A and B are shown apart, each in its own frame.
Chain A
Amino acid sequence: MSARSVVLRVAAMATLGACAVVLGGCGESSQVVRYQQGKYQGKTDGKPWDNEPSPFSAAGLSKGDRVAWETQIKTRNQNQNEYQRTE
């Protein structure tokens, strides 16, 4: 192997090494974490109208009767409006 080829080989290796170092930065992945909406991992909750009425329940409720429950909530919503009683 001649001295010239040795020099060329060393130069080629040095160039490759330099390229690897310089281009290494191009392959860097983003450091910013992307937000992804998680999903609830806990227990499932029941519907408020899907219960046996307790002694504390409002009158007229029964298990599974969504309409009665909504009616009760609507009535109580309007109970907060004192103008309904005064006008």
Chain B
Amino acid sequence: MARMKFLCDAERCIECNGCVTACKQEHEVPWGVNRRRVVTINDGVPGERSISVACMHCSDAPCMAVCPVDCFYRTEQGVVLHDKDLCIGCGYCFYACPFGAPQFPQAGVFGLRGKMDKCTFCAGGPEKDGSPEEFVKYGRNRLSEGKLPACAEMCSTKALLGGDGDVIADIYRHRVMKRGAKGAEVWGWGAAYGKPEGKPEGKPAAQPAAGAKS
């Protein structure tokens, strides 16, 4: 099995924030901490794009490189996790991360800047898998239950894919081939899901009869 990765399809993301909600609910993430969020470029302008962002579980993670107490580790599945018992909440990882993944709760033993919290790919942390201790510190461990991250599995449009990097790359590649690569001007439902067989491009679906109630 290859490394676990997230992949967000900007053509499909409809900015519903279902992934954010799923994450919040699954891990009971405290107020002020956003392990995942949806970023929209050119919001409100035709052609806008949204993308769901969280820890990307980098293969050469800058957070791991800068951590002064070496509290980060990478699992066999390529998930970047950290030990909150060791974290001193210094915030170096926050500066190093290009995605803004590390979050700092507003309450805790370090006062205003608590121990770092981030997306765990629903893989918990260095506590007994599925234990209450693990849940309190890191949230649910879905991976040990044979499940993928809640955000990806909950995504209604399947814009957010999560799992084995090779497999989700194949899924995405197949999807793009189905769409037909036409360039950046392609936007909307047809681009995201492909056009039905035999239907000419740009022709709207059957119109309801005049006077018909919707």
Which residues of A pack against B, CB within 8 Å?
35, 37-51, 53-54, 56-58, 60-61, 68-70, 72-74, 76-83
> A45-B81, A73-B164 are contacts. A81–B171 as well, Cβ < 8 Å?
yes
* Distance, CA A58 to CA B144, complexed state (A): 9
Q: Would B126 and A51 count as touching, CB distance under 8 A?
A: no
Q: Would A40 and B128 count as touching, CB distance under 8 A?
A: no
Within 8 Å by CB of B70, from A40, A60, A68, A82, lies: A40
Q: Would A77 and B168 count as touching, CB distance under 8 A?
A: yes
Kindly state whether residue B18 has any CB partner on chain A within 8 Å: no
> A77-B164, A80-B161, A83-B175 are contacts. A43–B146 as well, Cβ < 8 Å?
no
Q: What chain A residues lie within 8 Å of B125 (beta carbons)? A: 45
Which residues of B pack against A, CB within 8 Å?
1, 65, 67, 69-73, 75-77, 81-83, 85-86, 123-130, 141, 143-148, 152-153, 158, 161-164, 167-168, 171, 174-175, 178
Within 8 Å by CB of A54, from B82, B85, B130, B161, lies: B130
Closest B residue, CB atoms, query A35 = B65
Closest B residue, CB atoms, query A43 = B126
Q: Would B164 and A48 count as touching, CB distance under 8 A?
A: no
Number of interchain pairs (Cβ within 8 Å): 109
Q: Would B82 and A42 count as touching, CB distance under 8 A?
A: yes
Within 8 Å by CB of A80, from B65, B72, B76, B163, lies: B163
Q: What chain B residues lie within 8 Å of A78 (beta carbons)? A: 167, 171
Q: Would A37 and B65 count as touching, CB distance under 8 A?
A: yes
Q: What chain B residues lie within 8 Å of A39 (beta carbons)? A: 70
Closest B residue, CB atoms, query A70 = B1
Q: Would B148 and A73 count as touching, CB distance under 8 A?
A: yes
Within 8 Å by CB of A72, from B67, B85, B146, lies: B146
* Distance, CA A50 to CA B176, complexed state (A): 37
* Distance, CA A48 to CA B158, complexed state (A): 25
20 further interface pairs, Cβ-Cβ under 8 Å (given A42-B86, A43-B126, A80-B153): A38-B67, A41-B86, A44-B126, A45-B73, A46-B129, A46-B144, A47-B76, A48-B77, A48-B143, A51-B129, A56-B130, A56-B145, A73-B143, A73-B164, A77-B164, A77-B171, A79-B153, A80-B171, A81-B174, A83-B174
